[in-house]
Amino acid sequence: MEKVKLLEVKNLKVYYNSIWGDYKSVDDVSFIAYEGEVLSIAGESGCGKSTLVDGILGLIKPPGYIPSGEVIFEGKDLLKLSSEELRKIRWTKIAYVPQGAMNSLNPVIKIEEQMIDSILDHTNISREEARKLAISRLKEVGLPVEVAEMYPHELSGGMKQRVIIATAIALKPKLVIADEPTTALDVVAQKGILQLLRSLKEDYGITVIVVSHDFAVHAQIADRIAIMYAGKIVEVGPIYDVFKNPLHPYTKGLISSIPVIGKSYIKGIPGLAPSPLNWPSGCRFHPRCPFASEKCRNVEPILKEFNSERYVACHLSR
Ligand SMILES: Nc1ncnc2c1ncn2[C@@H]1O[C@H](COP(=O)(O)OP(=O)(O)OP(=O)(O)O)[C@@H](O)[C@H]1O
Ligand code: SF4
Ligand SMILES: [Mg+2]
């Protein structure tokens, strides 16, 4: 079956201005999310994942700015829309579960009221209709209806995250973007949230983009994965292929950093992630790469097709 593009990010740059110069946090990123897939975005802390998502959704505030790029969704460049037009698309068509969202629930307002207020902010339906919608979404994310009458402190972390997802999908968007949806949850709750996100695709055909620094999360949920390093995407491919045969040395390092039962050591990646204020020359991974050559230090590798489904930015791949 032919894949249909839902979201296409083209050469997106998101910089933060400072007295020391620009933090080039997202620096020429291109990727496609297809209808009905779970696309994972992986990479170490600070590589630009949340900035990328904020850039896509038009949420960059000064000193952040977007020097160039396009974000095509249903044929429109989201970066060219007014903030009111964008606000409408977020929620109705694209739902966002921001990093740490479950901690933003108001502790003194019942869950149901918070959900209703969010729904009414974005629709013209009556309060009673919004209430019915909130209850049905709570059920859809596997929560008992009693949760509607509870306060956030009465819920576990996993339940709070389900409430956030229930609110995000209230209007059945085409795309859900979840940033670090399982961080700070225990492993059982993590598994539940990942199954829930996967079910959005399987039960409702929603495209899901999951952002996480935790590679193990992606292994459980993704159809395809894009690996970010130092503000760029360095590898893209179907999750199984990337795990079985990672092409980029950074991806190899990430996979070898996943703890395995029975193994007493983890290989990991030597050295520290570089600063967006001063990215290394050539290949940005060269100071940490065991295969770095003179060419790597001077010439930046571009993301190139390896086969019809896989892309990699490394001079070693051809
Ligand atoms: N408001 C800001 N002003 C200046 N720099 C910023 C700002 N927000 C983010 N950055 C910088 O941009 C880079 C990318 O940050 P970002 O939060 O996007 O990373 P991340 O990959 O989401 O990390 P994490 O896994 O920790 O969530 C970081 O180096 C950060 O210091
Ligand atoms: S281009 Fe060179 S430094 Fe960069 S990942 Fe490939 S081998 Fe390593
Ligand atoms: Mg982040």
pLDDT digits (tens, 9 = 90+) for 79-97: 999 988 998 898 889 999 9
The share of the chain scoring above pLDDT 90, in percent, equals 83
For ligand 2, atom 4: residue with the closest CA: 283
Measured from the CA of 317, which atom of ligand 2 is nearest? 6
Cα separation, 52 vs 191, whole angstroms = 25
83 versus 154: which is more confidently predicted?
154
Average pLDDT of the residues in 189-196: 93
Q: Which helix (H) or strand (E) holds 113?
A: helix 111-122
Output the residue whose Cα is nearest ligand 1's atom 9.
51
CA distance 117 to 127: 9
**Mean pLDDT, range 117-132, rounded to an integer:** 93
Distance 50 CA to ligand 1 centre (A): 7
Lowest mean pLDDT among 3-12, 42-51, 266-275: 266-275
Residue 215's pLDDT is what?
87
Per-residue pLDDT at 91: 81
- Nearest C-alpha to atom 31 of ligand 1 is from which residue? 46
CA-based end-to-end distance of the chain: 28
pLDDT confidence band for 261 (50 / 70 / 90): low
C-beta contacts of 80-86 below 8 A and 24+ residues apart: 83/58, 86/57, 86/58
Residue 306 has pLDDT above 60, yes or no: yes
Q: How far is the CA of 100 from the centre of ligand 3 (A)?
A: 9
pTM equals 0.95
Instruction: Using the mean position of ligand 3's atoms as its centre, give its distance from the Cα of residue 88 in Å.
Output: 24
pLDDT number for residue 268: 74
212 CB within 6 A, ligand 1: no
Ligand 2 nearest-atom number relative to CA 250:
5
The pLDDT > 70 percentage for the chain reads: 97
Q: Domains of the chain: which residue ranges? A: 5-93+173-312, 102-172
**pLDDT score of 266 more than 60:** no
Contacts of range 241-248, beta carbons closer than 8 Å, 24 or more positions apart: 241/309, 241/310, 242/310, 243/219, 247/306, 247/310, 247/312, 247/314, 247/317, 248/285, 248/312, 248/313, 248/314, 248/317
- Report the alpha-carbon distance of residue 312 to residue 318 in Å, rounded: 9
Q: Which CATH class is domain 5-93+173-312?
A: alpha beta
Q: How far apart are the C-alpha atoms of 281 and 87, rounded to whole Å?
A: 38
**Average pLDDT of 237-248?**
96
Q: State in Å: Cα 24 to ligand 1 middle.
A: 10
Indicate whether 265 pLDDT > 90.
no
Ligand 1 and 23: CB distance under 6 A? yes
| Pocket lining: 50 vs ligand 1, CB cutoff 6 Å | yes
pLDDT of residue 258: 76
- The answer to whether residue 145 scores a pLDDT higher than 80 is yes
User: For residue 63, is pLDDT > 60?
Assistant: yes
Mean pLDDT of the chain: 94
Ligand 2 centroid to residue 108 C-alpha, Å: 52
Binned at pLDDT 50, 70 and 90, residue 256 comes out as confident
Distance from the CA of 179 to the center of ligand 3, in angstroms? 7
The phi and psi torsions of 189 (rounded to 5 degrees) equal -65, -40
Confidence at residue 262, expressed as pLDDT on a 0 to 100 scale: 64
DSSP class of residue 15 equals: E
Mutate to test the pocket of ligand 1, among 13, 15, 50 (most ligand atoms within 8 A of CB): 50
Q: What is the pLDDT of residue 257?
A: 80
